[in-house]
């Protein structure tokens, strides 16, 4: 059972603040005008390793005992969590073994290896990669660092909201990419502790919608998965994260693949940022009218990562020009 509090998030902030970037919080005049709201972007695409995932990984590895660190760590990830674990492990000389599915983008694989971790490619999706990583953890004695169902991971991700709300405390809503659930649960823990009235909204794609249906049904729902530009959000969720989210998250919304592509193009055109599909889903929801109730409100949108293959982004941009 997960147990994450505002105290957990504050402790995480103290552990990791000297190793992470305090990422910019920027008002998007262009998006605000389009939506009819005051929209701010929390730019975790500018975080070290190109993603918010470093926060949780640093907090988790910092919490391990010397004995656990000595045995090394292992994880499964679509890419960004893996890079975070690899980087965090490299800071303390800890051995890291990373299992990624075949769908993991080349830019993320390269990042994992750049930080000195051992890379294993296994499975057609995250769930298969995770199952294999658990098997290797048993065989090798390494500590498994879960991408989202972990108290320290969630608390670390919650520092994204803590940073933003310390700078601008009066947001009415936060729009968050939702994959496994570490980010949205961490953000909701911190945000609701500071302002119980704030609305926390998760965004997924129709290609990977487990949060949307599970939240509605209040149980883990069976869904169909297909390929998505938002590869970092692709995969199943856990009962632990669902139980937590049901108490602190307000709703989930789905966007189309074409809308994700358009948001990636829009962020490059309007703000000159490379943003991966997973990081652009909130902008997609706002640009394409999925959140009409936020008109006239002050909205925080989390831009969660930048790890997209340049050729893929170039192709998307070219399709709109």
Please state, in angstroms and rounded to a whole number, the distance separating the CA atoms of residues 60 and 12: 9
Question: pLDDT-derived band of residue 107, with 50, 70 and 90 as boundaries?
Answer: confident
Question: pLDDT-derived band of residue 274, with 50, 70 and 90 as boundaries?
Answer: very high
Question: What DSSP designation does 142 have?
Answer: P
Please give the share of the chain, as a percent, with pLDDT higher than 90.
Answer: 88
| 289 vs 309 pLDDT, higher one | 289
Question: According to the model, what pLDDT value does residue 125 have?
Answer: 81
Domains, the chain, with CATH or none: 6-52+151-319 (3.40.50.1100), 53-144 (3.40.50.1100)
Residue from 8, 51, 304, 306 carrying the catalytic annotation:
304
Residue from 13, 42, 53, 192 carrying the catalytic annotation:
53
Question: pLDDT-derived band of residue 106, with 50, 70 and 90 as boundaries?
Answer: confident
Question: According to the model, what pLDDT value does residue 62 have?
Answer: 95
Choose the weakest-confidence range: 180-194, 223-237, 302-316: 223-237
Please state, in angstroms and rounded to a whole number, the distance separating the CA atoms of residues 304 and 313: 16
- The pLDDT of 274-281, averaged and rounded, is 98
Question: pLDDT-derived band of residue 154, with 50, 70 and 90 as boundaries?
Answer: very high
252, pLDDT greater than 90: yes
Question: According to the model, what pLDDT value does residue 47 have?
Answer: 97
55 Rama sector, left if φ>0, alpha if ψ -120 to 50, beta otherwise? alpha
* Residue from 317, 224, 240 nearest 274 by CA: 317
Question: According to the model, what pLDDT value does residue 105 have?
Answer: 78
Please give the share of the chain, as a percent, with pLDDT higher than 70.
Answer: 100
Question: According to the model, what pLDDT value does residue 8 have?
Answer: 98
User: pLDDT tens digit string along 31-83?
Assistant: 999 999 999 999 999 999 999 999 999 999 999 999 999 999 999 986 789 99
Quickly tell me which residue has 């502790």 as its tokens.
Answer: 193
- The pLDDT of 175-191, averaged and rounded, is 97
Q: What is the pTM of this model?
A: 0.95
94: tokens are: 């800890």
Helices (H), 64-99: 66-71, 80-92
Please state, in angstroms and rounded to a whole number, the distance separating the CA atoms of residues 236 and 253: 16
Question: According to the model, what pLDDT value does residue 92 have?
Answer: 87
5 noted as active-site residue:
no
Question: According to the model, what pLDDT value does residue 205 have?
Answer: 98
77 noted as active-site residue:
no
Question: According to the model, what pLDDT value does residue 45 have?
Answer: 98
- The pLDDT of 247-259, averaged and rounded, is 98
Question: According to the model, what pLDDT value does residue 232 have?
Answer: 87
Question: According to the model, what pLDDT value does residue 103 have?
Answer: 82
Mean pLDDT of the chain: 95
Question: What DSSP designation does 235 have?
Answer: S
236, pLDDT greater than 90: no
* Residue from 112, 87, 110 nearest 99 by CA: 112
272, pLDDT greater than 80: yes
Question: According to the model, what pLDDT value does residue 289 have?
Answer: 98
Question: pLDDT-derived band of residue 183, with 50, 70 and 90 as boundaries?
Answer: very high
Question: According to the model, what pLDDT value does residue 29 have?
Answer: 98
Q: Using DSSP, how many helices (H) and how many strands (E) does the chain show?
A: 14, 10
């Amino acid at each position: 059972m997960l147990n994450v509090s505002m105290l957990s998030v504050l402790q995480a902030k103290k552990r990791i603040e000297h190793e992470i970037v305090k990422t910019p919080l920027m008002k998007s005049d262009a998006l605000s005008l389009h939506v009819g709201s005051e929209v701010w972007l929390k730019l975790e695409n500018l975080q070290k390793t190109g993603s918010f995932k470093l926060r949780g990984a640093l907090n988790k590895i910092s919490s391990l005992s010397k004995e656990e660190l000595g045995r090394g760590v292992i994880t499964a990830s679509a890419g960004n969590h893996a890079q975070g674990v690899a980087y965090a492990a490299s800071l303390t000389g800890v051995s890291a073994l990373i299992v990624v599915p075949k769908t993991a983008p080349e830019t993320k694989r390269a990042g994992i290896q750049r930080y000195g971790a051992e890379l294993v490619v296994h499975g057609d999706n995250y769930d298969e990669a995770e199952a294999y990583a658990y098997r290797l953890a048993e065989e090798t004695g390494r500590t498994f660092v879960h991408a989202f169902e972990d108290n320290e991971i969630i608390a670390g991700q919650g520092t994204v909201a803590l940073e933003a709300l310390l700078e601008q405390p009066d947001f009415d809503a936060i729009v968050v990419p939702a994959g496994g659930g570490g980010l949205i649960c961490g953000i909701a823990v911190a945000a609701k502790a500071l302002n119980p009235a704030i609305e926390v909204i998760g965004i997924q794609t129709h290609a990977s919608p487990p949060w949307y249906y599970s939240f509605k049904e209040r149980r883990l729902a069976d869904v169909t998965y297909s390929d998505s530009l938002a590869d970092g959000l692709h995969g199943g969720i856990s009962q632990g994260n669902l139980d937590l989210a049901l108490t602190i998250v307000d709703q989930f919304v789905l966007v189309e693949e074409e809308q994700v592509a358009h948001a990636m193009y829009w962020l490059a055109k309007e703000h000159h940022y490379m943003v991966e599909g997973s990081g652009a889903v909130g902008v997609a929801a706002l640009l394409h009218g999925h959140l009409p109730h936020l008109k006239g409100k002050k909205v925080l949108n989390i831009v969660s990562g930048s790890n997209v293959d340049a050729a893929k982004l170039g192709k998307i941009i070219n399709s709109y020009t």
